[in-house]
Amino acid sequence: MNGEKKIFNTALLRRVFRLAAPYRNRVYLSLALAIALAVLSPVRPYLIQITVNDYIKNGLIDMVVRITLIQMVFLLLETAFRFLFSFITAWLGQTVVKDLRVTVFNRVLHLNLSQFDKTPVGTLTTRTINDIESINEIFSDGLIPIIADLLSIISILVVMFVVDWKLALISLAPFPILILATYIFKESVNRSFIRVRNAVTALNAFVQEHVTGIQIVQAFAAEGREYAKFKKINSEHRNANINAIFAYSVFFPVVEIVLAVSSAILVWWGAGKSLNLPPDQAAALTGKMISFILFLNLLFRPLRVIADKFNVLQMGMVASERVFKLIDNDDVIKTEGSFAPAKVMGKIEFNHVWFAYTDTRYVLKDINFTVQPGETVALVGHTGSGKTSIISLLNRLYHIQQGEIRIDGVNIDDYTLNALRRQTGVVLQDVFLFSGSVMENITLRNPAISREQVEAAARLIGMHQFIEQLPGGYDYKVMERGSTLSLGQRQLLSFIRALLYNPSILILDEATSSVDTESEQLIQQAIDTLISGRTAIVIAHRLSTIRKADKIIVLDKGEIREIGSHEELMARGGAYYSLVESQYEGNRKAGRA
């Protein structure tokens, strides 16, 4: 978004208020209270005028007492209405925010992975937390409070002109200065707020990215450089806030000065006028002047904050445009399919599949292969050859541009997403563990999976004894991303997770590429347990782990170079043979070193 762009249109505002449709009765009540407050606002100054006039003219103490009691009733009534108005608008804002945050997070969960490739996680966090909180302010400090303030201003002005139009004109003489100051203030704060919002987004993205990648930052001694970058972004945030604070520091004193000048002009004119009037008329003028001073104070109270509320509304609209852009993002995982078998045999077919992450820069080109049920197929090739892209397409993390992928002869787009992914177990190289217990990470908080099932799966994988030795056993709390466990232990936990879901198709992505020899042996045993009776697609740099594969597919720059068993491909002396030889040569050199 352009830093100077203003987002304020009625269509956007209507869409924001449609979010409150389930709570329309509260909206109507808040508007009714706004009207009631506008009517009540000028009543007390007018009663004070009557009190002063009658007391000076007739000395009627009883009348003064009665009017004072009436004023107290109006004051209590106005206070109660104002409390209800503030509470209801705040309640509306928080309730809409709660509903909207759920909607946004649900959309984030269903976005295609390509969106996460292009959008920093910190930006999505800002949309879900900060921007939605700004939409809350549209209700609590935005449109409805602005309507209430405008109604109060109109009501007070009408009463002032009805009581004495000359006094009204005289007391409002400095108003053009206030209107000009309000406009300048609004524009200045609006620019500052946009800068603040952009700076907050940049801060969130930067901090999230660098906390996640702190190991790389420290490993390459880049703390100083990253610290300098953060200071620069943080300074921009501070400068934007200081500009806003400066505008406030200038505007509010200007409002007070204009109010003082208005009061001074009113008193000066009234004092001069009363000298030439009879006592009765002078007394009446005194009552009017007192009421007008009170009118001015009531008038300036909403004027002090209405420009600020317009900016709050403006920033809420900017935030809502960003949030609605995320909600309207149609690059979501398609779930139009209706085929949902309880179990699949596991036959996989790639027919003339072409795939690109962006535009037409294809990373997979005319991929054709078939995996029979129960077969183990290995994908090998240099980094960037397309191995991970193939397995990402199999469970529809991305959508292909050309061709089709079939499971048991049915196009994967015809499956329901739940059915497709329920049949496909995935063990990734970079195992992600959430903050929570070992049990929660294995079951992913699925209440249908019992503790006995988890323990049985752990025994099959060979992890039960290790888990039992942890403090708290299966209730041991792992840190974010599983940082308190070794890479091999995290990998084995992911095997338990995959085994519990009993998939017909198993995908192993570089499952042993970064572990020690002892862990590799345990993982290899776990792999043998997992793939038994299942269709399996295995990716591995260590070619020793795929010798047992029924079929090996050799990829190079997104194309299939060779397909066959280990023995067949070695005898052919082609691309696979070269890969094996280069790896053995590398191992020999490492051994000599």
Query: 3-class SS at 11?
Result: helix
Contact between 561 and 575 under an 8 Å Cβ cutoff? The reply is yes
Separation between Cα atoms, residue 196 and residue 184, nearest integer Å: 18
pLDDT on residue 143: 81
pLDDT of residue 561: 92
Residues 6+ apart with CB under 8 A from 103: 327
CATH 2.70.98.40 fits 10-327, yes or no: no
Contacts of 557 (CB under 8 A, 6+ apart): 384, 385, 386
CA distance 464 to 40: 72
Structure confidence at residue 445 (pLDDT) = 82
Taking the C-alpha atoms of residue 263 and residue 292, their distance in angstroms, rounded to an integer, is 9
According to DSSP, the residues that pair with 356 across neighbouring strands are: 362
Decide: 346 and 373 in contact? Cβ < 8 Å. Answer: yes
Q: How far is it, in rounded angstroms, from Cα 168 to Cα 295?
A: 10
- Burial code (b: 16+ CB inside 10 Å, e: under 16) for 266-294 equals beebbeebbeeeeeeeebbbbbbbbbbbb
Cα four-point dihedral sign 128, 105, 449, 407: negative
49, 54, 280, 282 from 58: Cα distances, Å: 14, 6, 10, 14
- Contact yes or no for 266/293 (Cβ under 8 A): yes
* CATH C-level class of 348-592: alpha beta
Q: For residues 45 and 291, is the Cβ–Cβ distance under 8 A?
A: yes
Instruction: Annotate 123-168 with DSSP letters as a single string.
Output: HHHHIIIIIHHHHHHHHHTTHHHHHHHHHHHHHHHHHHHHH-HHHH
- Position 6 scores a pLDDT of 47
Among candidate residues 431, 417, 435, the one with its CA nearest the CA of residue 110: 417
Helix (H) or strand (E) holding 239: helix 223-274
Name beta bridge partners: 378: 538, 552
pLDDT in tens, the chain (593 residues): 444 444 456 788 888 888 888 988 988 999 899 898 888 888 878 877 777 766 655 555 666 677 778 778 888 888 899 899 989 988 988 898 889 888 888 888 877 777 776 776 667 777 777 788 888 888 888 788 888 888 988 998 998 898 888 888 888 888 888 888 888 887 787 777 778 878 887 887 788 778 777 777 777 778 888 888 888 888 888 888 888 788 878 888 888 888 888 888 888 887 777 777 776 676 677 778 888 888 888 888 887 777 778 777 877 887 888 888 888 887 777 666 788 898 899 999 999 999 988 777 899 999 999 999 989 899 988 888 888 889 888 888 888 889 999 999 999 989 988 888 888 888 877 777 777 888 988 888 888 888 888 888 888 878 888 888 888 888 888 876 666 777 777 878 888 888 887 888 988 876 555 555 666 666 777 777 777 788 988 887 666 667 778 899 999 889 999 999 888 888 888 888 888 887 766 555 555 44
Domain ranges of the chain: 10-327, 348-592
| Cα-Cα end-to-end distance for the chain | 55
In eight-state DSSP terms, residue 574 is S
Indicate whether this model's pTM tops 0.75.
no
* SS3 of 22-62: HHHHHHHHHHHHHHHHHHHCCHHHHHHHHHHHHHHHHCCHH
Do 10-327 and 348-592 agree at the fold level? no
